[in-house]
Amino acid sequence: MPRTDVVIVGAGASGLAAGAALKRLGCEPVLLDRDERVGGTWARRYERLHLHTVRRFSGLPYHGISREHPRYIPKDGFARYLDEYATRLGLDVRLGHAVSKVRPEDGSGRWLVETDRDAWHSRAVIVATGHYNREVVPRWEGTDAFEGRLLHSVHYRSGLEFAGLRTLVIGIGNSGAEIAADLAEQGAEHVAISVRTPPPIVPRELFGVVPVQILGILLTPVPAPGLIDRLGAVMRRLGTGDLRPYGLGKAGWGPFTARRPALIDVGFLRELKAGRVQVRPNVRRFTAVGVEFVDGSEGDFDVVIVATGFDTGLGELLDVPGAVGEDGEPRFRSGRPTAFPGLYFIGFDETTRGHLFEANREARRLARAVVRYLGVRRARAGTSSA
């Protein structure tokens, strides 16, 4: 079995950032990823997608994003950046290696990382598989009888495919709202979006000038999240107007209190206010020709796009009792040591400052912690052998 000091599971943005930070400190981590190309997840996303964070605060450690790119980078441009990043920094990325299990080796103090090709022994493991590892499709009654097309948002590419059709999007996260806007813009006959809990909605740029990410960066450290959320609700009302006439009530949570990013508006509110997107309640069940909603109303749809998110898959990946909570999330902060020596996570913490901004910071902090850990392990090994 191959041996190395550090294995990083996942070669997305967070994994690459951790690899670069470790290499800067003299380590040579091995990055294992099931994809066949670096940046492949981004390349396969829907065509309309751009980063919601600005170029300046979306780059990874030691090699930022070139000014040749626009302020908000299209998804294909970011995929190319990740590929270039791995090459430029000389990272050892092993593609086509699907990791199936991570577990400690009994009594050795090492970790075993099993893939569909081989198994690695390492002193430390960094899990960087992220939130979007496995699509989630709730089980509704009647889906087997539905005569239309049902697909998860991860398989959506462009609204052009659904022009002239009656469409429903289930879920109003960033992907759901943007897909609904794309369907309306690309000529769907009817677009509805099913909403269980109204989210806070903010423009990508305040007053068309200031990126909303800047406020997240400035205000996240302030120890008064409830107050910030109350002020934010007032600002959102001024910026977006009263959304109740369009079917969206008061936001069910605050970004700073919940430590979750708000919904970034990139066209959804325009389509909503123009009447080209209709808000509907949560789905109760499917029928042969559409769905029944929880208020008893029904709708006929040719296509239903499920934008209900993903889960981490960590429960199946990690054979480490106590490392993962019932919600499937790590019990430990990203970029910090855990209760299991040699096991680390990166890219899992929710943030109002932007995932890529946090990945840059977490990677540098994590690399220092890992190097300290490896140094202690080597010192102990040297003492025992002497």
Give the 3-state secondary structure of residue 220.
coil
Closest CA to 27 of 10, 9, 12, 5: 5
Q: Give the other-Cβ count within 10 Å of 317's Cβ.
A: 21
How many H helices and E strands in the chain? 10, 21
- Quote the mean pLDDT of the chain: 94
Give dist(CA 363, CA 208) in Å, integer: 32
**Pairing, β 134-135 against β 310-311:** antiparallel
In this predicted model, what pLDDT tens digit does every residue of 28-51 receive, in sequence order?
Answer: 999 999 999 999 999 999 999 999
Are 22 and 103 in a shared domain?
yes
Are 158 and 281 part of one and the same domain?
yes
218 sits in which H/E element: helix 212-219
Counting residues of the chain whose pLDDT is more than 90, the rounded percentage is: 87
pLDDT tens track for 168-226: 999 999 999 999 999 999 999 999 999 999 999 999 998 778 899 999 999 999 999 99
- Give the count of domains, the chain: 2
Same domain, 320 and 302: no
Expressed as residue numbers, the domain containing 221 is 138-306
251 and 330, same domain (yes or no): no
Query: Are 322 and 277 in a shared domain?
Result: no
Location of structure tokens 């959506």: 156
| Sign of torsion over alpha carbons 83, 102, 331, 138 | positive
The distance between the two most distant Cα atoms of the chain, rounded to a whole number of Å, is: 77
Same domain, 205 and 264: yes
Using CA atoms, how far apart are residues 35 and 52, in angstroms rounded to an integer?
24
C-alpha–C-alpha distance, residues 26 and 24, integer Å = 6
Residues 206 and 317 in one domain: no
Does one domain contain both 288 and 159? yes
CATH of the domain at 338: 3.50.50.60
Looking at the structure, tell me whether residues 37 and 115 fall in a common domain.
yes
Q: Are residues 216 and 104 in the same domain?
A: no
From 276, 306, 336, the end of a domain falls on 306
Q: Which of 15, 72, 60 is nearest to 265 (CA)?
A: 72
Tell me: do 177 and 245 sit in the same domain: yes
Of the candidates 286, 306, 326, which is a domain's last residue? 306
Domain boundary among 261, 286, 306: 306
Both 116 and 207 in a single domain? no
